[in-house]
């Protein structure tokens, strides 16, 4: 299965944030989006996830096999700046909710809640309310959310912000394991993720948009 984006552009307010972005990633491949602050990395990821309208172009999945996805978004996990976990509920309740509510996409299945917590190195504290955890622990538990329900595509927006070096290595391991199961990943990041050889996409920033504004 491949995720193909063709000539995407997106607008925020009056200005085009980026224009004519195309990429094509296949099973087991990762794309790292790089660029300075404000160059549109997060916007691009949200457009791919279907959370923002796109100005032109399209995103589609190719070669899904027997189980066609209704939308691209339904094949994706999105790990944004916010963790999407409730502070009042325990970690286990949070993860169980996302496991049940999101469910598994066709093709593979997610792992158990305890196994997911172990995978992010925080086994044994799933009974605590999410709000009690430190920022780094919260981020790790948000990553565990990616593991409990299977989605072929992971969209990761600054996934390793607030994490220590060991946790970055741990996360690189998770992404590699995901890729080896035939998954895809798109990540926007400033730090090297330690994934080895990956495709890179450099976002130029406002240049084009301002050029158009002056034209």
Partner 1 sequence: MTALLVRDLKLAVRAGGGAMIGVLFFMTVVAVIPFGVGPDLNLLARIGPAILWIGALLAALLGLDRLFQAEREDGSLDLILMQETPLVLTVLVKCLAHWIATGLPLVIASPLLALFMNMDAPAMAATMLTLLVGTPAITFIGAAGAAVAVALPRGGLLVSILVLPLAIPVLIFGVSAVYAAVQEPAPFLPPFLFLTALTLVFAVIGPVAAAAALRASTD
Q: How far is the CB of 77 from partner 1 (least distance, A)?
A: 8
Q: Which of 4, 51, 198, 204 binds partner 1 (CB under 8 A)?
A: 51
Give me the phi and psi of 62, to 5 degrees please: -120, 135
Rule CB under 8 A: is residue 98 a binding residue for partner 1? yes
Q: What contacts 24+ positions apart, CB below 8 Å, involve 124-129?
A: 125/91, 126/90, 126/91, 126/92, 126/95, 127/90, 127/91, 127/92, 128/90, 128/91, 129/87, 129/88, 129/89, 129/90, 129/91
The smaller minimum CB distance to partner 1, of residues 101 and 214, is found at 101
The smaller minimum CB distance to partner 1, of residues 19 and 46, is found at 46
Rule CB under 8 A: is residue 104 a binding residue for partner 1? no
The smaller minimum CB distance to partner 1, of residues 88 and 196, is found at 88
Instruction: Count the residues of the shown chain that bind partner 1, applying the rule CB under 8 A.
Output: 31
The smaller minimum CB distance to partner 1, of residues 114 and 198, is found at 114
The smaller minimum CB distance to partner 1, of residues 78 and 171, is found at 78
Tokens of 21: 């972005």
Rule CB under 8 A: is residue 190 a binding residue for partner 1? no
Tokens of 64: 């899904």
The smaller minimum CB distance to partner 1, of residues 70 and 197, is found at 70
Give the Cα separation of 127 and 91 in Å (integer).
6
| One-character DSSP codes across 6-57 | EEEEEEETTEEEEEEEEEEEETT-EEEEE--TTSSHHHHHHHHTTSS--SEE
- Residue identified by tokens 């794309």 is 31
Rule CB under 8 A: is residue 107 a binding residue for partner 1? no
Q: Which of 4, 27, 89, 111 binds partner 1 (CB under 8 A)?
A: 89
Q: Is 210 helix (H, G, I), strand (E, B) or coil?
A: helix
From residue 64 to residue 83, the character string flagging contacts with partner 1 as x (rule: CB under 8 A) and all else as - is -----xxx-xx-x-x-xxxx
User: Which of the ranges 23-31, 91-99, 169-177, 198-206 carries the binding residues for partner 1, by CB under 8 A?
Assistant: 91-99
Rule CB under 8 A: is residue 125 a binding residue for partner 1? no
């Amino acid at each position: 299965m491949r995720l193909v984006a063709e000539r995407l552009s997106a607008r925020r307010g009056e200005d085009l944030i980026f224009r004519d972005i195309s990429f094509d990633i296949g099973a087991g491949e990762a794309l790292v989006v790089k660029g300075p602050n404000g160059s549109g990395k997060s916007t691009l990821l949200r457009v791919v996830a279907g959370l923002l309208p796109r100005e032109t172009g399209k995103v589609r999945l190719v070669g899904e096999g027997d189980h066609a996805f209704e939308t691209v978004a339904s094949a994706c996990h999105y790990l944004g700046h916010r963790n999407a976990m409730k502070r009042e509920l325990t970690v286990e309740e949070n993860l169980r909710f996302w496991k049940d509510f999101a469910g598994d996409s066709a093709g593979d299945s997610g792992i158990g809640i305890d196994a997911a917590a172990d995978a992010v190195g925080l086994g044994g504290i799933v009974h605590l309310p999410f709000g009690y955890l430190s920022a780094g622990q919260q981020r790790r538990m948000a990553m565990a959310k990616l593991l409990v329900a299977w989605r072929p595509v992971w969209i990761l927006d600054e996934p390793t912000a607030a994490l220590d070096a060991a946790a970055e290595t741990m996360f690189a391991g998770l992404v590699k394991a995901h890729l080896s199961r035939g998954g895809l990943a798109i990540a926007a990041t400033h730090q090297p993720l330690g994934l080895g050889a990956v495709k890179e996409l450099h976002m130029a920033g406002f240049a084009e948009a301002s050029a158009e504004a002056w034209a």
